[in-house]
Structure 1
Amino acid sequence: MVGLLVLAAFLTLADRWAVLYAEHRAADALKDRLKLTAAPEVEIDGFPFLPQFVDGRLGSVKVTVPDVSADRITLASVSATARDITLDGDGPTSVHGARVPELNGDVLLSFADLNRELGASQVTFTGEGRDRVLARGTLPVAGHDLRLRADVRIGRAGDQGIATTIGGMRLDVGDLATYRPGARASEGLHLTPKSVTRLARETRKVRALLGVPSVVRRMGVPDATVREALRNDDKLAALTGSRDFVHQAMRVNLLDLTLAHPEVLDRLGLDPALLDALSRLTRPVLADQLSLGFRLPEPERGELWLRDVRVEKGGIRVRLAGQGLAFGD
């Protein structure tokens, strides 16, 4: 009886040693083949292991790879479980590949990594609902730190990619003006209600602004009213004190004045270098800085696709699946 127990313990120990050795060899092979900076974690399930290995079939193998590079970002972890694996080789000691009929995986793109890698401008990403990520922080533009707000919508791009749609992009130049990239009337660089209210009390600045015909046309103020206001301080005060003046002044896209009337912008306290930089910070340029998209690699054999994409508290979770995969020679 004691002899049987000792034999059973020895066989169990040998089996566990064999599975550890196999996991180590598999991790090294994956590291070399996938060009990883560190060996992944490999877990071979099932007991006993040796009969499976001799038979050339493994019930389940889980692989976890940390810090995988994906375009501009790093995936915090990639884990995949393969089932019913068939080993290719002439025997247990000469395995040179494997066939995987079924694979299920999980990818995490953590906000902590995004904030570190894309947050050089002090922008942070946080989850908001199932498919929405908020980008908040500051963006340096021409020596100025502008407050940034943007909403990133996360979704699938076909079966292999993650797409991001950037909306609600806004850069605040202090409390003076707000820049929204785009060509619509509501987009561009516009004075804030607070700065227009302050402007209304500064006669020199108001006269400079109303002295530009294109500004007057954009505001929608009748020419006769403007001419009277420019000649008479009481008329000017009546115009700037009206309820509509704030909304009228906010219609003006200050970028339209950049080249033609730099002196007006200077009186408003806007840096010409900042305005020049903003004119080049178009919607595609800004969206590219905030893009979180990536694509799955194409397997050499078989199919690999995305099943689900979801925003969680700690990051973006992607579930994937594969079939008919083959690895090795």
Structure 2
Amino acid sequence: MRSPHRIAPESPPGNQPENPPETDADITSPRHADVTSPRHADVTSPRNPYEELAALAPHPLEEFLQEDPADGADAEAPWQPPNHRRGSRRRRNRFAGLPLAAKVLVALAVGAAFLVLADRWALLYAEHEAADKLKEQLGLSAAPEVDIEGFPFLTQVLDQRLDEVKVTVPDVAADRVSLAKVSATATDVTMKGDGLTSLHGAVIGRMRGEVLLSFDDLNRELGASQVTFTGHGRDQVHARGTLPVAGHDLKVRADARIERDGDRGVATDIDRMRLGIGDMATYRPGPRASEGLHLSRKGARRVADESAKAKALLAVPTIAKRLGVPDDAVREALRSDARLNDVTGSPQFVDDVMRLNLIDVAMGHPALLKRLGLDPALLRGLSELTRPVLADRLTLAFELPELPGDGSVRLADVKVRKDGIRAELEGSGLAFGR
């Protein structure tokens, strides 16, 4: 089938003109159209910018594929083992750059530190030796605590004179009690000896101290009597507790006045001692009429209210006479309860019964006490518990132990404090050692 268009005859390749003449149709053809027009942009595809950048960048394998000229030189050099030895140049001293003043200060600081250590070591040695000598010379159960004051210590040793020495001795035995603590401060102490290791004694120019008799220690040491001591005022001590007598625990009350006894002792004047036998009777040791064993008001009222006990008292003529009851009234009271109530119902009868000393009654009529509700064995125990015996069981007196060597120590003042009895000490010219 023939094409409707005219097909131009092909000319031989050698006969084609290089630049065929352009016709008006060619000028108006799309090839000569404006490239900036939108229509032309839709027809012609734009160039890719990444391809242009890729053309400008170097190839990534160029550096890897190129040979390093230095590698060839190293390959030709023979192999040698590594040298691990230090260089011949000596390292620079760290202190070489410090100024001279800083070096001097460092040297002085190090020297001062060694001197301080030597001084403290000598101080500890001297304190330990002094504590051992005091324990041996005073016969103490434990070594005292010795503190030598003043710094430096070695200069005091060279001068053979100490400024101040503090000594604390715990648990010092003093008669039947133990002193909780004896503390003293000595001044103007002169040492005996040529050096630190050759010291053999000391002389104390002046000494002041304090002695403590603790209430806690008293309560523990006198715990068999179960008595508690408490301070009251400047010189008063109250004793409260129980005291076992003939198998009975009696309530004990006593007041003691503390005072200085000479230069080395503390005395106690015990007063108002009494033992309570329940609510029935009270015992006060002593020879006076108000002392002895007496019924309490409650106990006397109980005797007056109980007919058997009242008749037992009136049946003894000596007791009826002490009560002031006439013989006729006694005979009628023993026969008639109504007359007995008339005699025992008066307030005077209760007061008269309270004035009876039951210990005197027990001497001649021991069975009467049992009818009154009292144990005869208790009466015998109370009769042996005289005032001196009871006072000795409650005494707080003590005396300072004598110190060996020369010098003197005395008690300056005695005071009662909340924690115990405190006494001030004074001394001078005390010599210890050889």
In 1: Cα distance, 2:175 partner to 2:109 partner: 55
| One-letter amino acid matched to 1:294 | F
SS in 2 for 1:2: helix
Q: Match for 1:314 among 410, 415, 419?
A: 419
Superposition CA RMSD, Å = 1.2
Contact 1:130 1:310 survives alignment (8 Å): yes
| One-letter amino acid matched to 1:35 | G
Matches within 5 A, 1:22-41: 22-41=126-145
Contact 2:157 2:195 survives alignment (8 Å): no
Shift of 1:217: 3.0
Matches within 5 A, 1:221-260: 221-260=325-364
Matches within 5 A, 1:201-280: 201-280=305-384
- Size of the aligned set, in residue pairs, is 329
Give deviations 1:23-54, integer Å, cap 9, x for gaps. 11111111111222211110000001111012
Aligned-residue identity in percent: 65
SS in 2 for 1:196: helix
| One-letter amino acid matched to 2:428 | Q
Gaps of 5+ in 1: none
Shift of 1:131: 0.6
Contact 1:57 1:86 survives alignment (8 Å): yes
Shift of 1:108: 0.7
Q: Match for 1:96 among 200, 207, 210?
A: 200
Shift of 1:227: 3.3
TM-score (norm 1): 0.97
Shift of 1:213: 2.2
Shift of 1:73: 0.7
1:304 aligned partner:
409
Contact 2:205 2:428 survives alignment (8 Å): yes
Contact 2:174 2:401 survives alignment (8 Å): no
In 1: Cα distance, 2:330 partner to 2:147 partner: 78
1:114 aligned partner:
218
Greater strand content: 1
1:324 aligned partner:
429
Q: Match for 2:188 among 67, 80, 84?
A: 84
In 2: Cα distance, 1:218 partner to 1:7 partner: 96
| One-letter amino acid matched to 1:6 | V
In 1: Cα distance, 2:192 partner to 2:323 partner: 76
Shift of 1:119: 2.0
Asked if 1:139 corresponds to 2:243, the answer is: yes
Shift of 1:209: 0.8
Contact 1:218 1:251 survives alignment (8 Å): no
In 1: Cα distance, 2:321 partner to 2:422 partner: 50
Gaps of 5+ in 2: 1-104
Shift of 1:12: 1.2
Contact 1:56 1:92 survives alignment (8 Å): no
Shift of 1:91: 3.4
State which drifts further: 79-88 or 27-36: 27-36
Contact 1:164 1:291 survives alignment (8 Å): yes
2:228 aligned partner:
124
In 1: Cα distance, 2:132 partner to 2:211 partner: 21
2:286 aligned partner:
182
In 2: Cα distance, 1:107 partner to 1:160 partner: 11
| One-letter amino acid matched to 2:423 | V
Contact 2:150 2:163 survives alignment (8 Å): yes
Give deviations 1:135-192, integer Å, cap 9, x for gaps. 1111010000000000011110112110001100000111111000000000000001
Shift of 1:297: 2.3
